[in-house]
Amino acid sequence: MDLKEKRLKLTARRIEALNSLGIYDTDALFSYYPYRYEIMEEKPFDTWQIKDKVTLEAEVVSAVKTWRHGRLTTSSFDVMAQDRVLKVTIFNRPWAKSLALNQIITVQGVYQGKNKVTAMTYDNKKLSEHDAITPVYSTKEGIQQRTIRDSIRRVFEELQNEIMDIIPENLHVRYRLLRKADAIRRIHFPQDTRDIRLAARTLKYEEFLVFFTSIALMKNEEGKGVYKQPRAIDMGKVKKVIARMPYELTKDQKTSLQEIFNDMRDTKVMYRLVQGDVGCGKTAVAVLAMYACVTAGFQAALLAPTEILVRQHVASLQSILKDTDCRIAVLYAGMSAAEKREVLDGLANGTIDIIAGTHSLIQDTVAFHHLGLVVADEQQRFGVEQRKKLKEKGDRVDFLLMSATPIPRTLASAFYGDMDISTIETMPPGRQAPIIQYIQENSFRSVLKDVSGLLASGRQLYVICAAVDENEDYDARNVHQMCISLQKLYPQYRVAFLHGRMSSEEKQAVMSRFAANEIQILVSTTVVEVGMNVVNATGMIIYDADRFGLSQLHQLRGRIQRGSEQGRCWLLSDSREEKTMQRLQVLVQTNNGFEIAYEDLRLRGPGDILGTRQSGIPDFILGNLVEDTDIIAQARKDAEYIAENQQDDDCWMLLDHIRMRNQRNAVYAD
């Protein structure tokens, strides 16, 4: 139900606030779960440990002392709690000076030892007057917690008797699950931690059941009658190309190729994901797969997100296939009309065997003579409909996707349940890992000497920022100001900026100049995460590193180890949150993308990492691929049964829910 429905009685201002959080209907509102809970529980003083978060009801027993240091206001006062005097310090609460002697307050803070507490917050109520558990929601500047909580409460009270259960009744009974309305009530308005645990168990199971049923239904639909003409690969020609390559393929590359060739020679349409870490050799595998397709009498197309990446793939194609008669072409927006027409004619009449291109390949004007294989690089960069359009330019085309965000095989098979998966873990011999330094401040001064030396040696530098412009609501270093500062600091070098708001032509021009070493320092957002292969760029500074996911940081640092020269990456962050510091330390300790992605999945969930936001399949909100393995295993089994027994009356609510959702979202039909 839309939040604008009159019966919900939400004000326009409140609806606007919820919309800004991505909440447009009641389903989204109910599934906007708390990310943590504040538990108002006073523990005995003798159990407190230094750095513990503590809650205490206390009596003010001294006057409040307040002083300013720049913008920082500090207030300090003594309280009596649990028969002892504690010193409480709180920052940026100048109104604390109005506290009166003998006033009863409730304090939440961190115990510092020696009877000292740094307060995070306090109020003038007794502990017994607080809710035992208070949900805390992710929010934005200007949107208060109570706005979210009150909106959920109001809508739930209006609709609680209309919330339908979609889990089949026999599964409800078998696993002793809560009713959906009860689970929503307990997750948002818990009376105790048991409420939270039971609600999460039910809602996680529902998420996984919907997900795996969607996958199972899709596999059933895709698998019926989808047969193709097997590709008669000339393995003699393929083996000659492999023998002429300047390096030997790794064990995993050979295994992946064999899996791809077997798929191509089968009557079933190939739908395979090749996943591997940065620099593992996925491109070589894709080139050989496309050449194998050509030897069978078909054309192959490679889709990449940027012109720079397309050019790099063409260079790889030309290098590996240089002694063959394979005809290779490129297509992107920046080409002249005459160049495009020549390429379009070649694709239509079959004189072009392999085409590499950007989104231009998807346009209606592009027609193939006999397309047999589509390869999508950085598959998460493309929406489902984009990939589907290219695939439909041939008759039952084989599809190969490549991803540089690898996850362990067991998790990959769970998440990419509709695909066959090839995993490349072994790295080419001699591949160096970049040196990573995590610096616990967000300042250039810590890296000045090293960076100046790197530039003086003729190398190039990336500087990554989390923001494009200065923004009061988003406290992070930004591209434009950083570019100005570096131009002043290094007038002898050319400094330029790059970000997603620039036009494609502007971005390509900057990336081309950087690749040609006409720019020595490139200040950028994460748009350089893929598509940049500048061997001479061996340094990277990442400001506000805590604002990025581990997998994204790993992808970024992969830009500076493209050649034999040692790369160096500096992670800058002034965050003092213990979890943040532990997370960033992971990048220092390992260069294994599988371990890093596993940690990212555990901490952040799959949606942003695996590029599924546009897939049409449900993302996980509560469910965690790493921690909820038992629920996952059971939900998969149940989903397979449901997909095979769709006539079962017990399943109609779940199936109807999935079909209605698929009508609203893009259909996942690659």
* pLDDT tens digits, 197-234: 999 999 999 998 988 888 777 665 544 445 788 999 99
C-alpha distances out from residue 147 to 19, 137, 155, 196, 582, Å: 12, 10, 12, 21, 33
Report the DSSP pairing between strands 53-60 and 104-113: antiparallel
Q: Which residues of the chain fall short of a pLDDT of 50? A: 222-225, 380-382, 607-618, 666-670
Q: What one-letter code names the amino acid at 581?
A: M
- Give 299's contacts (C-beta < 8 A, 6+ positions apart): 293, 347, 350, 352, 353, 354, 355, 368, 369, 370, 371, 372, 373, 394
Would you give the end-to-end CA distance of the chain in angstroms?
Answer: 30
Q: Do residues 203 and 631 touch, judged by C-beta distance below 8 A?
A: no
What is the model's pLDDT at position 608? 45
235-266+280-403: what fold? Rossmann fold (3.40.50)
What is the model's pLDDT at position 318? 93
Q: Do residues 66 and 75 touch, judged by C-beta distance below 8 A?
A: yes
Task: Work out whether the CA dihedral 311, 316, 319, 320 comes out positive or negative.
Answer: negative
3-state secondary structure of 478: strand
3-state secondary structure of 138: coil
Q: Do residues 405 and 627 touch, judged by C-beta distance below 8 A?
A: no
Other Cβ atoms less than 10 A from the Cβ of 166: the count is 17
The span from the CA of 449 to the CA of 461, in Å, is 14
What is the model's pLDDT at position 606? 54
What is the model's pLDDT at position 349? 95
Q: What does R_g of the chain's alpha carbons equal in angstroms?
A: 29
DSSP state, 127? G
DSSP state, 227? B
User: The tokens of 652 are what?
Assistant: 């109609």
CATH class belonging to 435-590:
alpha beta
* 300 Ramachandran zone, left/alpha/beta (phi>0; psi -120 to 50): beta
What is the model's pLDDT at position 163? 94
What is the model's pLDDT at position 472? 52
What is the model's pLDDT at position 219? 62
What is the model's pLDDT at position 658? 84
Q: Do residues 369 and 395 touch, judged by C-beta distance below 8 A?
A: no
- As annotated, the residues of the chain forming the CATH 3.40.50.300 domain(s) are 235-266+280-403, 435-590
Q: Do residues 133 and 192 touch, judged by C-beta distance below 8 A?
A: yes
Other Cβ atoms less than 10 A from the Cβ of 273: the count is 19
Q: Which long-range contacts (CB under 8 A, 24 or more apart) does 65-71 make?
A: 66/94, 66/96, 66/97
Other Cβ atoms less than 10 A from the Cβ of 240: the count is 12
Q: What one-letter code names the amino acid at 165?
A: D
Sheet holding 460-464, edge to edge: 435-439, 568-572, 537-542, 460-464, 521-524, 495-498
3-state secondary structure string across 15-29: HHHHHHCCCCEHHHH
DSSP state, 469? S
3-state secondary structure of 417: coil
- Quick one: how far is CA 320 from the chain centroid? 33
Q: What one-letter code names the amino acid at 207?
A: E
- As annotated, the residues of the chain forming the CATH 2.40.50.140 domain(s) are 41-129
- pTM of the predicted protein model: 0.64
CATH class belonging to 41-129:
mainly beta
What are the residues facing 77 on neighbouring strands? 88
